[in-house]
Amino acid sequence: MTPGRNDAMNYKIYPLTIAKLMADVGAFCYLNFSGLKKWFPIYVWLIEGGGKQVLVDTGCEAEEMMKSSIMKAPFEDVTSLEEALQKFGLKPETVETLVLTHLHGDHALNIRRFSKAAIYVQEEELAFAKNPHPLFAKSFPTGRFDGINFTTVRGDYQLADGLELLYTPGHTAGTQSVAVRTEKGKAIISGACSLPENFAPSSGLMEIAPPGIHLDPIRGYDSFLRIKQEADIIIPLHDDSHQEGGVIG
């Protein structure tokens, strides 16, 4: 893996903090019950380059999120979606391309605000969300996605030059990650709820710690391992190290 070539289109990634949740590290890292509880950010990711603006995930509103959260975790609002996007000259209704890593509420609850966007989701993810196993039924309330015109993909998908959707299941049925070409190399926004600890477990017993909440921990392990092997820059979905107004790449 090498940094992006000068003659190719490179992108910048902007993490926009919409809300936050209080949780144990073990909620993200399988078999890593540290007892450490703290606030973790819930991001919308804006990818910009060459006149393109692609949004990854929608964030949520705390009050609505708590109604369907299986974690029973506290949630708090940080910045409204509208305020976060306004800094980049965007409104939810003017976003043209939206990628959903998966359909859990903290990443997809604001979906109906994006009335004109092409909304990319894995076919397998949408099918499960519309007909979930009883164990996950609360995470996907009946009717949440009715009437939404999704663009479904199956497996890896080239979204644009330098932007690729990667099929990385395990956390959910059809989790997808986003590979982004930047000046500093390939950055991958991990589609599963994850922390830096998932990719470098403190126990040293495993190379990868699968998602703490998962449909299949083995597939989750393999997906995280793929990200670790392919990425120059790993971007876990709930990494709290990003500074307000920061940029990746």
The range of the structural domain enclosing residue 49 comes to 12-235
Average pLDDT, the chain: 92
Residue 172 lies in a domain: yes
The number of distinct structural domains making up the chain is 1
CB-CB contact of 28 with 195 (8 Å)? yes
- Judged by DSSP in three states, 182 sits in strand
Specify the amino acid at residue 169.
Answer: P
Confidence of residue 1 (pLDDT cuts 50, 70, 90): very low
Name the least confident of 24-33, 83-92, 95-104, 167-176.
Answer: 24-33
CB-CB contact of 165 with 176 (8 Å)? yes
CA-atom Rg of the chain in angstroms: 17
pLDDT at 6 > cutoff 60: no
> What digits encode the pLDDT tens for the residues 14-64?
999 999 999 988 889 998 767 888 999 999 999 999 899 999 999 999 998
Q: What is the mean pLDDT of residues 125-146?
A: 94
| Helical spans, DSSP H, in the chain | 62-68, 81-86, 105-108, 123-130, 196-199, 217-230
- Say which DSSP state 89 is in: T
Q: Which CATH number belongs to the domain containing residue 26 in this structure?
A: 3.60.15.10
Specify the amino acid at residue 223.
Answer: S
Residue 216 lies in a domain: yes
Name the least confident of 27-31, 66-70, 230-234.
Answer: 66-70
Predicted TM-score (pTM) of the model is 0.94
Query: Of residues 229 and 34, which shows the higher confidence score?
Result: 229
Residue 66 lies in a domain: yes
pLDDT at 3 > cutoff 60: no
Could you tell me which residues come within 8 angstroms of residue 202 by beta carbon, excluding any fewer than 6 positions away? 32
- Judged by DSSP in three states, 248 sits in strand
Residue 137 lies in a domain: yes
Residue 90 lies in a domain: yes
CB-CB contact of 3 with 231 (8 Å)? no
